[in-house]
Amino acid sequence: MNSVFNVSDFGKKFLWGVATAAVQNEGAYNIDGKGLSVWDTFSKRSGKIIGAAKPYEACDFYHRYKDDLLLVKALGFKVFRFSIAWSRILPEGIGKTNKEGIAFYHKVIDECLQLGLIPFVTLYHWDLPQALEKEGGWTSHSMLRWFSRFATVCAEEYGDKVKNWIILNEPMGFTSLGYGLGKHAPGKTGLNNFFPAVHNAALAQAEGGRIIRNIVEHANIGTTFSCSEIIPFTQSEKDIAAANRMDILLNRLFIEPSLGMGYPYGNFQLMDKLHLYNKAWKYTERMKFDFDFVGIQNYFSLTVKHNPIIPIINASEVKAVTRNAPHTDMGWEINAASFYRMLKRFAAYDGVKKIIVSENGAYFKDILQNGVVNDAQRIQYFQDYLQAMLQAKQEGVNINGYFVWTLTDNFEWAEGYRARFGLIHVDFKTQLRTIKSSGYWWRNFLNRK
């Protein structure tokens, strides 16, 4: 397959990278002083993870980071995005730091720098210390104090070597799935959990930005938002209203407060309740922070219809497979044109200076045969999405980077080890790495002049 563009079309300073996360990659969940995270606990007791999978070993990045970073380099990427496990740095969430945990990330960062890779550090990628969850987690009034302590330790430890920081990974993801629907750790449900988790996350992403700004010289600071174009199933008034409600939750809930716009409204009773609920909270003006970049994470578009049976939101998805729309093996619709429109839309916000596509990728049912994974569908996916991104960039959207999700197959949250997104196949019994055809495609693309 030949793309109709070259890497040079994106510019010499464009950042090409891969993204990973601590829980999904590191393993070593209880050694060298690390405390338990909510995912360590949730995976043990929940029964909600496919195959009863646990992140205890994952890809064993903790012991294999040198080899994996060599693979990043060999594939031609310039950026390695990874997260810091809060409970590896502060086993109890606050209090005493863990020297072994701090030393581990110094080693990862130093290895990146030695290889000529740019480390992009995500402060929080869904792995709250279990010790803090026992005290209420993201629903607690103490959350901002806890998060500030963690952010300060990381900034002071690594700020002389790391200049690129991402505060939160997809706050809508961990607040809705973890504190509203109960599908992810810590498994809480209901608006009484969702509302305070949302507000604390909105405050934390801004406060984390201020902490990094105050401590790290010449820092490049962003945060990431998941986004999906919401398409009404029909042009009926009810379907359009349902799409609008879904759009508020999935696309507007966190970026608009960060830009000083406050929480969105939009003829949606749930948001009226959120506004009323948060009148009792102080410092709502502190949800704003002047980020240097916004991370956009797009995997699919959503087609929705009015559904009065679904509580609160009164909307439900019309799945891609039922509409005969192209989709990944997660059932997510493949829609590069939608990706293009979301890039244009987020760039149109006043206050968004530049965009980095901080995650994008696809799960297909990869088959390892005779030492080869021929994932042609994934290659086509990347070609289509990169073409859409290039179009947006050529039309004036200030896009400065693109990070593939992900380097290696890993622990994919509630999907366990079933959903393989990696450019590199992992045999989870032996930890053997095998570069997929898509990995070789990226190597050729990034090295082609």
* CA neighbor of 426 nearest in space, from 443, 442, 410, 404: 410
Hey, what are 397's tokens?
């959207």
pLDDT digits (tens, 9 = 90+) for 289-304: 999 999 999 999 999 9
Report domain extents, the chain: 7-447
**What CATH architecture applies to the domain 7-447?**
Alpha-Beta Barrel (3.20)
Beta-carbon contacts of residue 44 (< 8 Å; ≥ 6 apart): 54
If you ran DSSP here, which 8-state letter would residue 308 be given?
T
Given the residues 26, 111, 133, 170, select the one marked as catalytic: 170
Query: 215 phi and psi, to 5 degrees?
Result: -105, -40
* 3-state SS, residue 69: helix
Structure confidence by residue, pLDDT tens digits, 73-100: 999 999 999 999 999 999 999 999 999 9
Catalytic residue chosen out of the listed positions 157, 207, 333, 359: 359
Contact at 8 Å (CB) between 290 and 282?
Answer: no
| Structure token pair of residue 27 | 């393993």
Q: Are strands 293-298 and 355-359 parallel, antiparallel or unpaired?
A: parallel
Q: How far apart are CA 142 and CA 369, in angstroms?
A: 51
pLDDT tens track for 165-206: 999 999 999 999 999 999 999 999 999 999 999 999 999 999
* Active-site annotation holds for 170: yes
Q: What is the mean predicted confidence (pLDDT) over 391-419? A: 98
Q: What is the pLDDT of residues 416-448, one digit of tens each?
A: 999 999 999 999 999 999 999 999 999 999 998
pTM, to two decimals? 0.98
Tracing tokens 């009484």 back to the chain, one arrives at 192
Tens digits of per-residue pLDDT, 106-142?
A: 999 999 999 999 999 999 999 999 999 999 999 999 9
